[in-house]
Amino acid sequence: MMKYRCAMMRKEKIKVFCKVAIEEACKKHKIEIVIIKILDEHVHLIVDCPRILSIAKLMQLIKGLSSYLLFRICPELRLRYPRGNFWNKGYFYASCGNDFDRAYSYIENQEIHHQRI
């Protein structure tokens, strides 16, 4: 989730840059993205990561490097986030396990879900 819930990603350009930054952060740390959805105020993703990473470390790597890359790709974001914190401190995590298809479908249909609200 982005800092201050400002819906910065309403611009398609920022959504694309955000997706690229997250993909690059994951690639650098050998984290496989199964699905990613960039919405106006938050991101959903399912990843397959090395077992040696804790969830906290996983999120630190993804959010930290993607934020760094976003500010490099799109310097005007610094005007809105002068301290360099693009993402909120928190995150939600759940293991898919036996409900992988359900979790995948949930993420895949997020745009439809948020249009109804």
CATH number for 13: 3.30.70.1290
Residues in the chain, pLDDT under 70 = 1-9, 113-117
Per-residue pLDDT at 47: 95
Secondary structure element (H or E) that encloses residue 89, with its range: none
pTM for this structure?
0.86
Cβ neighbours around 38 below 10 Å, total: 19
Structural domain containing residue 71: 3-116
Per-residue pLDDT at 112: 75
End-to-end CA distance of the chain: 18
Per-residue pLDDT at 98: 84
**How many domains are there within the chain?**
1
Per-residue pLDDT at 44: 93
Per-residue pLDDT at 8: 64
Alpha helices in 29-117 (DSSP H): 55-73, 77-80, 100-108, 110-116
